[in-house]
Structure 1
Amino acid sequence: MIWSKAPSKVVLVIRLLMALVFAFYGCVKLAGGQYYYGDWDDLSKSTVDGTSLVWLFYGYSPFYGRVTGLFELVPALMLLFRRTTFIGAGALFAVGLNITLMDFAFDYPFVKYMAALYTVLCGFLVVQDRARLRDVFSDPAVDAARRSPENSRGRARW
């Protein structure tokens, strides 16, 4: 598989790039940017296009806008530390997948392809820690039974 063992410098560059991108967007949202928090009185379907309507909807609740910023900023900061990279990359993969889906569903211009790329890169980081991913989804009892002496001789198979 092409992603099986990437050089550590490539992984580091991707970690730093994703940390920078998601930290930037998280800070913008925390500072009150990206979503529209203004007056809704002069808005109508005839004056607002669909993509702007999405930003209007998300901005309807400033609390929601700030929380989405935290969901980007905190995992981005986790990418800066090797011990927390797996958790940060997994969280950003989920966030990125949601953003990508939204961007394609509402037909955002070019940014939808950038969101897809960021999601793939976060997935790449998760795959690089596949041993941890395997540990998350494994059952210790089943793993112990697979490593037992009886199983190695072919007697107790699952």
Structure 2
Amino acid sequence: MTNLVFDKKNLFARKIVTTLISGLTISALILVIGNGGNIIWFPPVVVFPLVALILLTSLVFPIIWQKLENKQKIDSNKTFGLLYSLVRFVIAINLISFGWKKIFGLQFLVPSEIAILPMNQQSGEWLTWFYFGYSDTFGVIIASIQIFGSILLLYRKTVLVGSLTLFSLMLNLTLINIFYKMNLGALLQSVILTFGLLFLILSDYKKLKQFLYSSDTIFPSLQFQNIIIKNVIRVSVLIVSLIFTIYLKTLLSR
């Protein structure tokens, strides 16, 4: 079971975070299913009230949860575990669906009337969409990472590996969505999924810390009696590359 369950410090704050992340990830999935109002049987008049209800519930439930716990009428360990698993599976469904959309050509589509415009007349969103859609292979690679990374979320022993893999991808996509001014829906999806994955990573913080700081490398290292020499070599990597870059810039500016 996740470390989040057994750590009793700041338990109410953890209830709030866990419930809020659950509500946000479920809401994001519902918005994806709603697909901008294109699905007849799931119109916006149903989608948005449902999302509002879920978000409201995620804000109120921690208070109810705390009161029930004080009265010993709820098993908090099981509740944490249920919500934690819910986040895992909802994120997996969401990202896998985005992966399938890429494979079946439902993403990175640019209308012909937009594609024929000069680059300096394109918005950041269309430039990004056209760039990613230029290579079908690249799209399939991103889709594969989303699909297989999400599959790892479905198994408790591989959640951390899947979360780390998907977090690096989603953080990159979130930054693209922000700085290339993608539409608000895409930005919200990426932000929510990124925070959801961060939640899963931090839930396994002890395991991650043990892996990063307690694992011994099998490779030999250079031995220096003077630590200053070792640090000078490390800093020189940064300095030498910087000097070389400045040199190249001076050549181009001539």
Indicate the TM-score class for this superposition, using the shorter chain for normalisation: 0.7 to 0.9
Q: Which amino acid in 2 is paired with 1:98?
A: N
What is the CA-CA distance between 1:138 and the residue it aligns to?
1.0
What is the CA-CA distance between 1:39 and the residue it aligns to?
7.5
Identify, as 1 or 2, the structure richer in helix. Answer: 2
What is the CA-CA distance between 1:114 and the residue it aligns to?
2.2
Could you tell me whether the CA contact under 8 Å between 1:3 and 1:124 is conserved in 2? no
| SS of equivalent to 1:138 | helix
1:106 aligns with 2:172: no
1:42-121 matches, within 5 Å, as: 43-45=116-118, 48-110=122-184, 111-121=186-196
Say which of 214, 225, 231 aligns to 1:139: 214
Moved over 4 A (4+): 3-6, 37-40
Q: Once the two structures are superposed, what CA deviation does each residue of 1:50-101 show, in whole Å capped at 9, x if it has no partner?
A: 3122111111111111101111111111111111111111111111101110
Question: Alignment identity in percent?
Answer: 21
Q: How many residues align?
A: 141
Unmatched tracts of structure 2, length 5 or more: 1-9, 19-79, 217-254
Say which of 109, 126, 144 aligns to 1:36: 109
Question: 1: CA distance between counterparts of 2:112 and 2:168?
Answer: 32
Q: Once the two structures are superposed, what CA deviation does each residue of 1:4-54 show, in whole Å capped at 9, x if it has no partner?
A: 9951111011001100111000111122221138979x6223774331221
Q: Which has the larger radius of gyration?
A: 2
Aligned CA-pair RMSD? 2.7
Q: Which amino acid in 2 is paired with 1:49?
A: S
- Taking structure 1 as the reference length, the TM-score comes to 0.78
| Partner residue in 1 for 2:203 | 128
Q: Which amino acid in 2 is paired with 1:118?
A: L
Q: Which amino acid in 1 is paired with 2:191?
A: A
Unmatched tracts of structure 1, length 5 or more: 142-158
- Taking CA–CA contacts closer than 8 Å with sequence separation of 6 or more, which of the two structures ends up with the larger relative contact order? 1
Question: 2: CA distance between counterparts of 1:38 and 1:121?
Answer: 32
- Taking structure 2 as the reference length, the TM-score comes to 0.50
Q: Which amino acid in 1 is paired with 2:193?
A: Y
